[in-house]
Amino acid sequence: MIKINSDFRPSILVSGLINYETTLKIDRFPLEYYPVTYPFWGVNSTISGVGFNVAKALKTLGAETRLLSLTGADIVSGLVDAEMKKCGLGSEFIVRSLEKTPQSVILFDQSGKRQIHVDLKDIQAAVYPAEIFLKAAVNADILVLCNINFSRPLLSAAGEIGKTVACDVHAVSSADDDYNSDFMRCSDILFLSDENIGSDVQGFMKRLYRLYSNEIIVAGMGSNGALLYVKKDGAFRHFEAVHTRPVVNTIGAGDALFSAFIYFYAQTRDPYLSMEYASAFASWKVGANGGAEGFLTENDLAALCAGRFETRT
């Protein structure tokens, strides 16, 4: 079983995107032209987005979770409220200031390849109210500030109140990426994907550390597992990918890995144990279809991994 203080439930704030996601299962890439197809049970629409995915995963695991986001005053925002209620997430920190709620369309095939089309509407020009953020952040153990523009001003505010900040910058290709440099600089815990950084993942992570001196850096490597760097140990450790059930859709795998790591790190402050359980959590998640589907509770994950890992001392 997971060796943690079961009486302690971390309080985690998440600031990030909510969108209306439609997935379409196709036979293969590249996609051939057809005037019409009938992919029975191949089209699925849900509430998703990185912020929602992370918040739902954390809530499912057992964290006290506050989700801060922006939506539109449209029909989709009603669906967001209903889904938030269903997941046990409150809507008091959701601000309806956009013209339209963002949407995405994702194509995926049986091999796990996917193509994501995200329409952010007017969200990149919108601002999240600082006073609401400060109210929500007061009792949070960790602040997860996703790399969406409205989270950017919150980075400095988080530093001023002395909170641990975690960011996932996803598929960056440069250590000094213009869009993501603020998020990388302000992160105590930094996650990224190896998708656009070539074969020398460790070298790229060393460049990140030299620039930003993050406490923890994790590169998700898909079927090749993940690479973890811990500043206090000055060491890298590779984690093999875990196989818990057949893969259905890899959309949201990185969000799941990030979420579970944050949850268990808040519980244990053990980055190695947290990575072990995050790997298993993400493996189970990709057996479901949709970015916000396939999450396990802490107890279910403990049962899945019973006897596999031990707490480091």
What is the gyration radius of the CA atoms in the chain, in angstroms?
A: 19
Across 284-312, average pLDDT: 83
Q: What is the pTM of this model?
A: 0.92
The hierarchical CATH code for the domain 11-304 is 3.40.1190.20
Predicted local distance difference test score (pLDDT) of residue 6: 60
Indicate the domain borders of the chain: 11-304
Tokens of 295: 């999450």
Q: Which of 61, 65, 11 is nearest to 298 (CA)?
A: 61
10-66 residue pLDDT tens: 999 999 999 999 999 999 999 999 999 999 999 999 999 999 999 999 999 999 999
Percent of the chain with pLDDT over 90: 87
**What value does the mean pLDDT take over residues 245-269?**
93
What is the pLDDT, as a whole number, of residue 151? 98
In this predicted structure, the answer to whether residue 232 has a pLDDT above a threshold of 50 is yes
Q: d(Cα 64, Cα 182) in Å, to the nearest integer?
A: 27
pLDDT band at 114 (very low <50, low <70, confident <90, very high): confident
What is the pLDDT confidence band of residue 312, given thresholds at 50, 70 and 90? Answer: very low
Packing angle of the helix pair 50-61, 253-268 (nearest 10 deg): 40
Q: Tell me the mean pLDDT in the region 2-17.
A: 81
> Which helix (H) or strand (E) covers residue 274, if one does?
helix 271-285
